[in-house]
Amino acid sequence: MNPTTTNSRLLSLDAFRGFIMLLMASGGFGIVQMAAAHPGSIWEFLKPQFAHQAWQGCSLWDLIQPSFMFMVGVAVPFSYEKRREHGQSFFGMAWHALTRSILLVALGVLLATHAGDKHTVFLFTNVLAQIGLGYFLLFLFSRMGWEYMLSAIILILAGYTWFFIDHPLPSSQDLAAIAGMKGTEQAMLPGFAGHWNIHTNAAAAFDRWFLNLLPQAQTFQHNPGGYQTLNFIPALATMLGGAVTGEFLMRSLKTERGRFSTLLVTGILLVVAGTALDFKILPVVGTQLDQYTLLPVVKRIWTPSWAILSGGWVLILLSVFYWLVEVRGMRRLVYPLVVVGTNSIVIYLLHSLCAGWINENLHKHLPETAFPAYWVPVIERCGVLFVLWLVCWWLYKQKAFIKL
């Protein structure tokens, strides 16, 4: 079996990317709102998978961002091999990577600044800004080869773990300062795991210094959800994992079934490793060992165990799409996903900027009978999703693929 070339596009990658972007643009299909309106129903059973974990843990909804970032990494080897074949120099590719990084960060700041804000809001926690902050480094490491990328992943995760452990555990004054704040009760971890508490961790301390160096309408104290700028560092490990995967898919001499098996088994092993790091150690009678978690899985601060666990789940999901498309040849089945996956940045920006406007116009131009009272949350979000899909479909038919 010859290695995959840049001329033989892997449709499974576009399909998986499209699945992730459609899930993001779905707004959770209104399931969270249905659960709130109908307690004790099937909606309440489904709700945990369509909402972010309060702090520790993992849900399907939490996997959207790492999947998107992982797929950015997967695309890098294919993209730059194609540029190399077209005669672009290393410095030309480096300039492209740098300008892409700057543009992504700028778009992230734009999306963080809402209509009611009088000044630019300098926050760097949304997915575009996070990709932008790490993208140039991703390019540099990807040019060195998979061995260097794996080494970089290990060093990044180990170093970031030490960065948090080296920061003091929260004092009673620190805990008093955040007591009563929304969402803090479920984000206060016991014992050693307190190094990864909300608002008192090392990355939060960095943001209270760094963000206040920039023009702010008021002094920055806390991100309400606990998200931090420095998340881009362990998230870079996620993107590098994607780049290693892209190199494997592009150059491996294995058959399609062999590649599928490698993706699946590697994903399972990473899920087991991430879960083991999150395992709670119970107190031992007669010892000084208190209950603690070795390295908690927290998406909001992208703990290294989260990077490992989420990377495993992403590989498992990707292996499913690889099996469906590349092994079983079910290309027609994934066509609606490919339409979105080839214009992922378009649907992300349109959803971020226009979802409310689309929903408002659906209510204006459709009869009231199109919105039965019981199903309103589901119909609204599916309606917006369908309009966004139509835009991507039209672009696909025009062979218009918008990239940064």
Q: How do the domains of the chain map onto residue ranges?
A: 11-23+62-332
Cα R_g (the chain), whole angstroms: 22
- Cβ atoms within 10 Å, residue 240: 28
Tell me the pLDDT band of 292, cut-offs 50, 70 and 90. Answer: low
Return the pLDDT at 77. Answer: 93
For 288-303, what is the mean pLDDT? 79
For 105-118, what is the mean pLDDT? 90
* d(C-alpha 181, C-alpha 396), whole Å: 46
Cα–Cα distance, 296 to 294 (Å, whole number): 6
Mean pLDDT for 116-129 is 91
Q: What is the pLDDT of residues 330-343, one digit of tens each?
A: 999 999 999 999 99
Each residue's pLDDT tens digit, 55-68: 999 999 999 999 99
- Amino acid 38: pLDDT: 93
Question: Looking at the predicted structure, is the pLDDT value of residue 185 above 80?
Answer: no
Per-position b or e across 37-51, b if 16+ CB within 10 A of its CB:
eeeeeebeebbeebb
User: Does position 287 have pLDDT exceeding 50, yes or no?
Assistant: no
Distance CA 84, CA 112 (A): 35
The model's pLDDT over 345-359, given as tens digits with 9 standing for 90+, comes to: 999 999 999 999 999
Query: 10-56: per-residue pLDDT in tens?
Result: 999 999 999 999 999 999 999 999 999 999 999 999 999 999 998 99
Q: How far is CA 262 from CA 3, 138, 320, in A?
A: 15, 23, 12
Question: Backbone phi, then psi, for 298, in 5-degree steps?
Answer: -135, 110
Confidence at residue 3, expressed as pLDDT on a 0 to 100 scale: 52
Residue 115's pLDDT band (cuts 50, 70, 90) = confident
Per-residue model confidence (pLDDT) at position 176: 82
How would residue 291 be classed by pLDDT, with cut points 50, 70 and 90?
Answer: low
The Cβ of residue 397 has, within 10 Å, a number of other Cβ atoms equal to: 9
| pLDDT confidence of residue 174 | 82
